[in-house]
Amino acid sequence: MISFSDKSAFMYPLGRRRRSDRLRRTDRPPGSAKEIVMEYTDLPGAPMLPYNARGRQSGSIVMRAIDSHFHWYPRSVFEELCARTGYPRAVPTASGGYTVMPREGVSRVDQWDEWFDLEAQLAHMDSTGRHFGVVCTLGPFGAYFSEVSAAHGLAAAQMWNEEMAGAQARYPGRVWASGVVPLQDTKMAVDELERMIGKLGLMGVNVPSSIGPKGHIDEARLEPFYERVEQLGVPIFLHPTDIAFDEILAGYDGALFNSLGRVIEVSVAAYRLVLSGIMERHPDLKVFMSHTGGALPYQAGRMDKNSKAAKLPKLPSTYLRRMYTDTVSPHAMGMKFAIDFYGVDHVLYGDDYPCWNPETALGIFDELDLSQDDRHKILYGNARRVFKLRDPAPAAAGGTSLAVNLEVT
């Protein structure tokens, strides 16, 4: 039970209390005419999140949410790349990020200092007035681990995963993290998947939109990888990796690529999982599509019409609707379309922080005409259920020898 006086109740004016059916007025205690008592109820059986009291005013209620599309990068991985003389390597930028060069003639810059400061990121999330848990996903850098040599990709992935496990240990019940594997070598990928889930306690795996400059995520050799992911019951996170459509989308200071290229790239990757039969052969595979499903919800009818060559037993849209997605859209209508297509049980709140502002994302989400039950599902309940989020025991983040292993080519 949480009690607060009528003065502090102005944080939630009387006219707005019905915005949440998780807050209900109960009997006033005897002798406390000015006391309003509110009870917070949660999903049945879901554990309570530990509360970080930073920024909370005494007596107020902080509603909870889980950001399922959140990026934090461990700086140590990039510093190791900066110490290298050959390819792959990296150099620091004036913005506090890095220019990464996986091979000669290729360089990418997509971060600034905010990407690397998890404590500051969580403090920013606190400033929204909600208590946020976050699910760390990889983002554009996910392409890196599968486009360098397999040996280096594995060493870098192991170091990344150890850092993710360390973040979970520092913020149990508030930070959950997914890992990465080197998909250019199937056995290495499966072995690291086993380690990062079984030993480190990570909760999902990131898959890039493509594997190096020419490889695809639906290659037949990867069947054992998808089979093991399905058996483990962990989600696959699909996110654009910014390595496709370079020429046709060049210019205009990135406007073409950021507006169209990224969502098309990740849509193609997801659709490959459908056309290849991977989604059919692995019915329990949980695929989390970023950016409100990219182009998939809007073009599902064309996919149903044009996919006869795949000889699937069901329409492609059937498999697409089995996937999950987030609310990353600058327009409420984009969020609404994703909810209408996937169903409210398959949409999870996400704001792509630090690329997008969480306050703005919450404001757009609040424009949706949703029941309180549906709001709760999208903001919090679906993530706990779909990702099977639990308060993890601290994982043993290990060896400094991984830094030495990054010297492989």
Q: pLDDT tens, 299-308?
A: 999 999 999 9
Give residue-wise pLDDT tens across range 124-146.
999 998 889 999 999 888 889 99
**What does pLDDT average to over the chain?**
83
Q: Quick check: 391 pLDDT over 70?
A: no
In angstroms, rounded to a whole number, what is the distance separating the alpha carbons of residues 11 and 21? 17
The band of 12, judged by pLDDT with boundaries at 50, 70 and 90, is very low
pLDDT bin (cut points 50, 70, 90) of residue 96 is very high
CA 203 to CA 135: how far, in whole Å?
9
List residues bridging with 138 in a β-sheet: none
Average pLDDT over residues 384-408: 59
Q: Which residue has the higher pLDDT, 170 or 45?
A: 170
Both tokens assigned to 381: 């309940």
Percent over 70 (pLDDT), the chain: 80
pTM of this structure = 0.82
Percent of the chain with pLDDT over 90: 70
* Angle 322-227-377 from CA coordinates, rounded to 5°: 30
Task: Select, from the ranges 21-30, 234-243, 268-277, the one with the highest average predicted confidence (pLDDT).
Answer: 268-277
Helical (H) or strand (E) element with 157: helix 150-170
Distances (CA, A) of 147 to 75, 151, 152, 212: 20, 11, 10, 4
Residue 119 pLDDT class (50, 70, 90 cuts): very high
- 109 close to 366: Cβ distance less than 8 angstroms: no
Tokens of residue 190, six digits: 């499966």
DSSP 282-310: -TT-EEEESGGGTTHHHHHHHHHHH-GGG
Confidence label for 242 from pLDDT (cuts 50, 70 and 90): confident
| pLDDT for the residue 390 | 76
Mean pLDDT value across residues 266-294? 97
Least confident of 9-18, 348-357, 362-371: 9-18
Predicted pLDDT of residue 406:
55
Q: Which residue has the tokens 């050959």?
A: 86
H/E run at residue 348 = strand 347-348
The domains found in the chain, sorted by start residue, are 2-40 (no CATH), 63-405 (3.20.20.140)
Which residue, among 254, 225, 297, has the nearest Cα to 108 in the 3D structure? Answer: 254
| More confident of the two residues 78 and 21 | 78
pLDDT for 50 beyond 50: no
Helices (H) and strands (E) in the chain, counts: 15, 15
Tokens of 319: 């498999």
Looking at 188-202, 214-228, 329-343, 387-401, which range is the least confident one?
A: 387-401
The reported pLDDT for the residue numbered 205 is: 98
Least confident of 80-84, 93-97, 256-260, 305-309: 256-260
Reported for 294-299, long-range contacts at CB under 8 A and 24+ positions apart, including other chains, are 294/263, 294/264, 294/266, 294/267, 294/270, 295/263, 295/264, 295/267, 296/267, 296/270, 296/271, 296/320, 296/323, 296/341, 297/337, 297/338, 297/340, 297/341, 297/342, 298/337, 299/267
Mean pLDDT of 189-208: 98
- The confidence band for 240, taking pLDDT boundaries of 50, 70 and 90, is confident
| Beta-strand runs (E) in 13-141 | 23-25, 35-40, 63-71, 89-92, 98-103, 106-109, 130-137
Q: Taking Cα atoms as reference points, which of 298, 289, 285 lies closest to residue 265?
A: 289
Residue 40: pLDDT over 60:
no
Whole-number Cα distances in Å, 81 to 153, 214, 242:
12, 24, 20
Average pLDDT over residues 161-177: 97
pLDDT score recorded for residue 41: 33
Mean pLDDT of 201-229: 96
Structure token pair of residue 66: 């889980």
pLDDT for position 32? 33
Cβ-contact 176, 168 below 8 angstroms: yes
User: Does the pLDDT at position 30 exceed 60?
Assistant: no
Tell me if 78 sits within 8 A of 144, measured CB to CB: no
Is residue 394 within 8 A of residue 172, CB to CB? The reply is yes
First-to-last alpha carbon distance for the chain, in angstroms, is: 58
Q: What is the mean pLDDT of residues 390-398?
A: 52
Phi-psi region of 270 (alpha: psi -120 to 50; beta: other; left: phi over 0): alpha
Cα(146)–Cα(144) distance, rounded to whole angstroms? 6
Confidence (pLDDT) at 178: 98
- What's 173's DSSP letter? T
Strand order in the sheet with 35-40: 2-5, 35-40, 23-25
Higher pLDDT, 236 or 6: 236
Query: For 79-83, what is the mean pLDDT?
Result: 97
pLDDT confidence bin for 258, thresholds 50/70/90? confident
Kindly tell me if the per-residue pLDDT of 43 is higher than 70. no
How is residue 200 annotated by DSSP? S
Give me 119's structure tokens. Answer: 């404590």
Strand ranges of the sheet holding 235-238, from the earlier edge strand across to the other edge? 179-180, 205-207, 235-238, 286-289, 324-326, 347-348
pLDDT band (50, 70, 90) for residue 278: very high
From residue 125, how far is each of 67, 195, 201 by CA, in Å? 9, 30, 24
Whether 38 has a pLDDT exceeding 50, the answer reads no
Q: Is 98 a residue whose pLDDT tops 50?
A: yes
For residue 311, pLDDT beyond 80: yes
